[in-house]
Amino acid sequence: MPNPHRRKFLAETAIALAAAPFISTSATREKSKQSRKLGVAVCGLGRLSENQIAPALMKTQHCRLAGIVTGTPGKAAVWKAKYGIPDSSVYSYDTMHRMADNPDIDIVYVVTPNALHAPHTIAAAQAGKHVFCEKPLEISVERCQSMIEACRKAGRLLGTAYRCQYDPHHLECIRLMREEVFGKPTIVQAGFAINVGEPTQWRLKRDLAGGGALMDVGIYALQATRYLTGEEPILVSAIETKTDPVKFAQVDETMVWTTKFPSGVVAYCSTSYKDGGIQNLRVNAERGWFELDPAFFYDGNHGRRSDGKDIRFPEIDLFAAEMDDFARCILENRPTKVPGEEGLRDVRIMQAIYESARTGRAMTLA
């Protein structure tokens, strides 16, 4: 008479062997999904795209440059030759809807002037593509909301290009502050300024930029105060000044502002289009301080602490880091830490800063 234990063993083995191909196939499929590189179409081929974003895509583990969107045929020809982009993946701003028929493109990275972010994001989302958008997300809260809604309706992810949130130096400052390594923080100082240069560029045109130094580089300082504290400001007060009212007739040249946070931390921030010497971030606490200077560059950021230790990590490509993380979020079906809502919050605060500077009154933030 056959051994019942042996019959049970043989039956279980047969079931396991029968299931093995399916288990293996499922595991292989999941591994393939995780290792697949997502195709990125760069929308807007200006200097940032040419000098930072395209080279960064060559370094990513989970992305690849798969297409371009431009209104300049000459630029399209250069990019096609340099990166081997096929004609079928080259679009104008008016033909972005055709991306719906291109499975090689998964993500559209929007790098156009600020006031064009909404139409280009909405077009990409309606074509079924995820969107990663340069900061500021847009020039008004309403336009930001339209972008968020379009991506939500399409079931696609919307990310804001806050590269400093991937910088190990900034991540270390967040740790130092949140863990209160030097005691409770009291004052945050942050500033970023550049010499903007050419007076005819789009950054000095209100209808395209939405604002000047604050919208362009001041947003780095504003963002830093928020992710360092982990809080939203409850009060803001600002002053604007111009030393060149002709060049900066349409946008802000220099802006300083203070914000108060629920914990009692106060932040003092500054930005300008006429000073290239401000690029710092500093936190003062009960028993010491820490700072980054420079804090907001593409590379070379570093800092120090009041106990004599340096804040210095190996350099990474921040554009590659943020794109790889966004791709992983898509592949793993999880939220991004820099969603459209994060971009909207900064725009709302910047609008309050502008209003405070205009009226001379402190603005309460809900």
Q: What is the mean pLDDT of residues 150-154?
A: 98
Question: Does residue 2 register a pLDDT over 80?
Answer: no
Say whether 135 is catalytic. yes
Taking the whole predicted model, whether its pTM rises above 0.85 is answered as yes
Q: Is 130 exposed, middle or buried (0-12, 13-18, 19+ CB in 10 A)?
A: buried
Number of DSSP helices (H) and strands (E) in the chain, helices first: 12, 15
Task: With beta carbons less than 8 A apart as the criterion, state whether 71 and 45 touch.
Answer: no
260-316 pLDDT, tens digit each: 999 999 999 999 999 888 999 999 999 999 999 999 999 999 999 999 999 999 999
The tokens for 20 are 């093995």
Query: What is the predicted pLDDT for the residue at 275?
Result: 87
The single residue of 91, 109, 135, 227 carrying the catalytic annotation is 135
The tokens for 215 are 């919208």
Q: What is the mean pLDDT of residues 11-35?
A: 42
The single residue of 91, 220, 227, 354 carrying the catalytic annotation is 220
29-46 pLDDT, tens digit each: 444 455 689 999 999 999
Instruction: Determine if the peptide bond prior to 294 is cis (ω within 30°).
Output: yes
Task: With beta carbons less than 8 A apart as the criterion, state whether 186 and 265 touch.
Answer: yes
Say whether 162 is catalytic. no
| Total count of residues recorded for the chain | 366
Query: What is the predicted pLDDT for the residue at 19?
Result: 40
Amino acid identity of 173? C
Q: What is the mean pLDDT of residues 216-240?
A: 98
Contacts of 216 (CB under 8 A, 6+ apart): 194, 196, 203, 209, 273
93-138 pLDDT, tens digit each: 999 999 999 999 999 999 999 999 999 999 999 999 999 999 999 9
Confidence band for 24, pLDDT divided at 50, 70 and 90? very low
The torsion angles phi and psi of 37, rounded to 5 degrees, stand at -90, 130
The tokens for 92 are 């104008």
* Cα–Cα distance for residue pair 300/168, rounded to 1 Å: 11
